[in-house]
Amino acid sequence: MKTFLIIVPEGGMLFEAAGIADILTQANRLHAQDDARPLYQLTIATTQPHHVIHGQSGLNLLADYRLLDLDPKQPRDTIMVTGRGVSEEEAEQVVDWLRCAAPYARRVVSICGGAMLLAQSGLLDGRSATTHWRLLETLQTRFPKVKVASGPLYVQDGAFWTSGGVSSGFDLTLALVEDDYGFSLARTVAQDLVMYLRRPGGQAQFSRFLLNQAKSPGPISDLQSWILSNLATDLSVEKLAERVAMSPRNFTRVFTRETGATPARYVAEARLASARQRLEQSNEGLEQVASASGFGNSLNLRRVFERNLQLTPGEYRERFSARALA
């Protein structure tokens, strides 16, 4: 039997912890058909001085223990952190406990923003890891020793497993079951719960490029608006610099300073965002989408989607188009 401790910080999405607990419990139930001994002994701990975990939805979860009452040096198979909490004090408490507990655990796992706490503890230094797509740049900036992977739903590096946002924790948990007890059990659990054992694509398919806006009104801000209305035109650095009467070198420096992104990156993200929106909200053909978004043809569009989202444009449309168009 493997011990499985889930640390649930305050103010998160409780369906993460509840769903993970249900997956592990389902593995126990299916195994019980052949052997009454459970595969997992599950414990939920709160970071609070009481036993009630408050979720952001207003719902509450009753924990088995308070983290401060658990001995970090007790041997455990798996320690999982499902979020980063709502305060620095709470985060530091978890980080300190993890530093002490990690040497006595077979593996340490994070869901979503929980990777920030693993990184803060130093456990991810020199390792590959991921987190929610909104936190990827923050994780890389704050913890440069971590090798941040932006595409996968989850990443394993030795004894440390990290996952992307929210429901990707379910993908990771099925992978843990497979790692522990084999493919057949993990597949059966997934089928019983009507889940993918291997969900197609990575978390990049769910991310949204947040186009950086200039810090203040002016030529760069006006140019950004013009770019969004003229994606099919020549948007090379030279042409954009000419439009605002700057040298290419000075334009690149000013644009990057004002927006936090190079002109080339901004244009690439704007074009991809436009293509995604058209695939989601229109019945336009792929050639039309590619032309209007500035990719020229459907082959270029496909290459960009596969490189950035690990999906073809057709697969993206199938998964994310408006219900009225599906």
Can you give the pTM of this predicted structure? 0.79
The per-residue pLDDT for range 196-205, each reduced to its tens digit, is: 888 877 777 7
Query: What tokens appear for 190 in the block?
Result: 């997934």
d(CA 8, CA 56): 12
The per-residue pLDDT for range 37-66, each reduced to its tens digit, is: 899 999 999 999 999 999 999 999 999 999
Least confident range from 197-201, 265-269, 292-296: namely: 197-201
Query: What tokens appear for 133 in the block?
Result: 């797509």
Give CA separation, 222 vs 107, 209, 210, 244, 248, in Å.
51, 20, 18, 10, 17
E strands, the chain, in order: 2-8, 40-46, 52-54, 60-62, 65-66, 76-81, 105-110, 128-129, 147-148, 154-157, 160-163
- The half-sphere exposure of 273 on its side-chain side, counting CA atoms within 13 A, is 16
d(CA 89, CA 49): 12
The per-residue pLDDT for range 220-244, each reduced to its tens digit, is: 999 999 999 999 999 999 999 999 9
pLDDT given for residue 146 in this prediction: 97
Q: Give residues with Cβ within 8 angstroms of 288, minimum separation 6.
A: none
pLDDT given for residue 37 in this prediction: 87
The per-residue pLDDT for range 121-158, each reduced to its tens digit, is: 999 999 999 999 989 999 999 999 999 998 889 999 99
Domains of the chain and CATH, by start: 2-205 (3.40.50.880), 219-320 (1.10.10.60)
Radius of gyration of the chain (CA): 23
Query: What tokens appear for 168 in the block?
Result: 């990707």
d(CA 121, CA 97): 9
Q: Given a cut of 60, is residue 326 above it in pLDDT?
A: no
The residues facing 43 across adjacent strands are 5
